[in-house]
């Protein structure tokens, strides 16, 4: 499960990195508006790792919030979600990184 998560996390990080190359019309308007960030995927992983109760309320609240983050903040929350997933369930470390992954400091 951890390999799958970290593979997904790497793909998510790459999706928010600036694209290289020429004109590519294959991206959608939604991708352009969010910089290609996969908010649905991030929020699904956030729910599995952290749960929504303390931070976003639900999937829709999470998606709306993270789509409103700039690309720097999105990269920060993805990184901290990875730290949370690598921490023991129920630990203070996981709880701290879940807070960061929700957009709290230092990801604010």
Bigger pLDDT: 66 vs 54:
66
Q: What integer is the mean pLDDT of 12-17?
A: 48
* Number of structural domains the chain divides into: 1
Q: Are 35 and 75 in contact (CB under 8 A)?
A: no
* In-domain check, residue 23: no
What does pLDDT average to over the chain?
78
* In-domain check, residue 43: yes
* In-domain check, residue 28: no
Bigger pLDDT: 60 vs 14:
60
**Which pLDDT band holds residue 24 (cuts at 50, 70, 90)?**
very low
* In-domain check, residue 17: no
* In-domain check, residue 24: no
CA distance 6 to 63: 20
* In-domain check, residue 44: yes
Q: Which residues span the domain enclosing 57?
A: 1-7+38-108
Count each helix (H run) and each strand (E run) in the chain, helices first. Answer: 6, 0
Bigger pLDDT: 92 vs 24:
92
* In-domain check, residue 60: yes
* In-domain check, residue 59: yes
Q: What integer is the mean pLDDT of 11-22?
A: 43
Bigger pLDDT: 16 vs 54:
54
Q: What integer is the mean pLDDT of 25-29?
A: 38
CA distance 51 to 85: 12
Residue 43: pLDDT over 50 = yes
Q: What integer is the mean pLDDT of 5-30?
A: 43
The secondary structure element, H or E, covering residue 34 is helix 29-34
**Distances in whole angstroms, Cα of residue 39 to Cα of each of 34, 84, 88, 91:** 9, 17, 24, 25
Q: pTM for this structure?
A: 0.70
CA distance 89 to 94: 7
């Amino acid at each position: 499960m951890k390999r799958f998560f970290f593979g997904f996390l790497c793909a998510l990080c790459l999706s928010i990195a600036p694209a290289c190359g020429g004109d590519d019309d294959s991206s959608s308007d939604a991708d352009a508006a969010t910089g290609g960030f996969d908010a649905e995927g991030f929020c699904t992983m956030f729910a599995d790792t952290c749960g929504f109760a303390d931070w976003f309320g639900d999937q829709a609240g999470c998606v709306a919030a993270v789509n409103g983050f700039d690309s720097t903040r999105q990269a920060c929350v993805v990184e901290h979600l990875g730290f949370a997933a690598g921490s023991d369930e129920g630990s203070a470390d996981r709880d701290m990184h879940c807070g960061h992954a929700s957009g709290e400091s230092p990801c604010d």
